[in-house]
């Protein structure tokens, strides 16, 4: 994945990076960068990732402070990406599918297809391929945003809600909550579900009111955001491993000194590592709690293969990136 050393968008405006009026020992202006996310303070993204930024000595030495807004206070995932691109905010977390939907970069959605990755090793391997790095360079040109540091894991996603999912037939007619991202909608349709768009901050109430039957999220998020409370089931589908590359407005980035850019990359790399560690711990704890209580039924005998076959059949025939997708599958299967 492209890092912030390779800059292609010329500096024009400072975007929202605010000068605090002081300067570091190296002479760079002290700045406060705005960082916004849809996730709640209890999620690993903030509890572990943002904490790594807030207490990072390298950022402090470089004269960088962070201003966080969370819990969708500034909008949905799509809206946050639009704001980073326009310079209203400096940094947000994104996925390839969000970039595809917001900026029309269709090929990016390939990296968020269901049942693509078997594990984190495969996920990281894909991000380092020449094809992925070239695509991220195109994102910079099209949207004026760049990746800073390693991806922050949202995690391996599973189904939760009031309908059990054991086989692909259980998706038939099931209202499945999704964000307004094309590949998620189309993937759920390929499984036979009825995609139902619901804002992230409305999931709890919408599930409680029966607006949708199932949602999907990592185990730790289901627990920390209390989605298990209105749910009867958690079905271990493991259908999607999602990473969230931190993206920064290119003009904001170019306004920083080299030392500040290096400090920012280091801090987000450390945040990436912290999030992964916390996610593994919290996923395990949530599963153990549910298995040892009567509050929710954990379905761990999901018949995955027909689901995998259904979505892959769709991906390999119906998209402009289908040939590249098949090459990517072949590469992953040879690992």
Q: Tell whether 189 and 269 lie within a shared domain.
A: no
Q: Is the same domain home to 144 and 164?
A: no
Range of the domain at 71: 18-153+244-281
Are 221 and 274 within one domain?
no
CATH code for position 46: 3.40.190.170
Q: Is the pLDDT of residue 15 over 80?
A: no
Q: Please give the tally of structural domains in the chain.
A: 2
Assess whether 108 and 170 both reside in one domain.
Answer: no
Same domain, 97 and 178: no
Q: What are phi and psi of 33, to 5 degrees?
A: -100, 135
Looking at the structure, do residues 52 and 175 belong to the same domain, yes or no? Answer: no
Residues found in the chain: 335
CB 115 within 8 A of CB 187: no
Taking the C-alpha atoms of residue 275 and residue 270, their distance in angstroms, rounded to an integer, is 9
pLDDT tens readout for residues 206-239: 999 999 999 999 999 999 899 999 999 999 999 9
State the residue for tokens 């059990």: 164
User: What digits encode the pLDDT tens for the residues 44-86?
Assistant: 899 999 988 988 999 999 999 999 999 999 999 999 999 999 9
Q: 157-206, pLDDT tens digit by residue? A: 999 999 999 999 999 999 999 988 889 999 999 999 999 999 888 999 99
What value does the mean pLDDT take over residues 290-307?
Answer: 95
Is residue 126 domain-resident? yes
For residues 214 and 89, state if they share a domain: no
Q: Taking a C-beta distance cutoff of 8 angstroms, is the pair 64, 299 a contact?
A: no
Task: Using pLDDT thresholds of 50, 70 and 90, give the confidence band for residue 12.
Answer: very low
Judgement on whether residues 179 and 75 belong to the same structural domain of the protein: no
Annotate 80-94 with b (16+ C-beta within 10 A) or e (fewer). bbbbbbebbbbbbbb
Q: Among the listed ranges 248-252, 304-308, 324-328, which one has the minimum average pLDDT value?
A: 324-328
Residue partners of 257: CB distance under 8 A and separation at least 6: 24, 26, 27, 28, 62
Q: How many percent of the chain have pLDDT more than 90?
A: 64
**Consecutive H or E run containing 99:** helix 96-103
202 lies in the same domain as 185? yes
Q: 0.85 exceeded by the pTM?
A: no
With CA atoms as reference, report the closest residue to 82 among 152, 168, 1, 145: 145
């Amino acid at each position: 994945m492209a890092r912030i050393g390779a800059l292609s968008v010329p500096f024009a405006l400072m975007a929202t990076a605010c000068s605090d009026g002081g300067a570091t020992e190296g002479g760079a202006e002290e700045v406060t960068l705005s960082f916004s996310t849809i996730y709640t303070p209890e999620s690993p993204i903030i509890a572990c990732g943002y904490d790594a930024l807030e207490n990072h000595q390298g950022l402090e030495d470089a004269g960088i402070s962070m201003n966080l807004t969370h819990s969708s206070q500034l909008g949905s995932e799509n809206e946050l990406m639009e704001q980073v691109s326009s310079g209203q905010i400096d940094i947000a977390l994104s996925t390839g599918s969000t970039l595809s939907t917001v900026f029309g970069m269709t090929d990016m959605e390939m990296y968020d297809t269901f049942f693509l990755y078997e594990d984190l090793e495969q996920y990281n391997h894909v991000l380092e391929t020449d094809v992925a790095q070239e695509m991220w360079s195109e994102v910079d040109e099209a949207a004026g945003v760049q990746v800073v540091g390693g991806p922050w894991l949202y995690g391996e996603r599973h189904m939760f809600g009031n309908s059990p999912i054991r086989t692909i037939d259980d998706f038939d007619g099931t209202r499945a909550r999704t964000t307004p991202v094309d590949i998620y909608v189309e993937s759920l349709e390929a499984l036979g579900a009825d995609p139902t768009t619901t804002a992230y901050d409305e999931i709890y109430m919408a599930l409680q009111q029966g607006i949708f039957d199932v949602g999907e999220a990592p185990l730790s998020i289901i627990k920390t955001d209390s989605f298990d409370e209105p749910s009867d089931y958690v079905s271990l589908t493991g259908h999607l491993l999602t990473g969230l590359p931190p993206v920064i407005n290119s003009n904001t980035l170019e306004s920083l000194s080299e030392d500040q850019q290096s400090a920012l990359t280091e801090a987000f790399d450390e945040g990436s590592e912290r999030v992964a560690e916390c996610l593994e711990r919290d996923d395990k704890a949530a599963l153990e709690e549910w298995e040892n209580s009567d509050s929710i039924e954990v379905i761990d005998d999901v018949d995955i293969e027909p689901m995998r076959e259904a979505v892959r059949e769709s991906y390999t025939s119906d998209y402009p990136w289908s040939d590249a997708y098949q090459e990517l599958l072949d590469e992953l299967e040879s690992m």
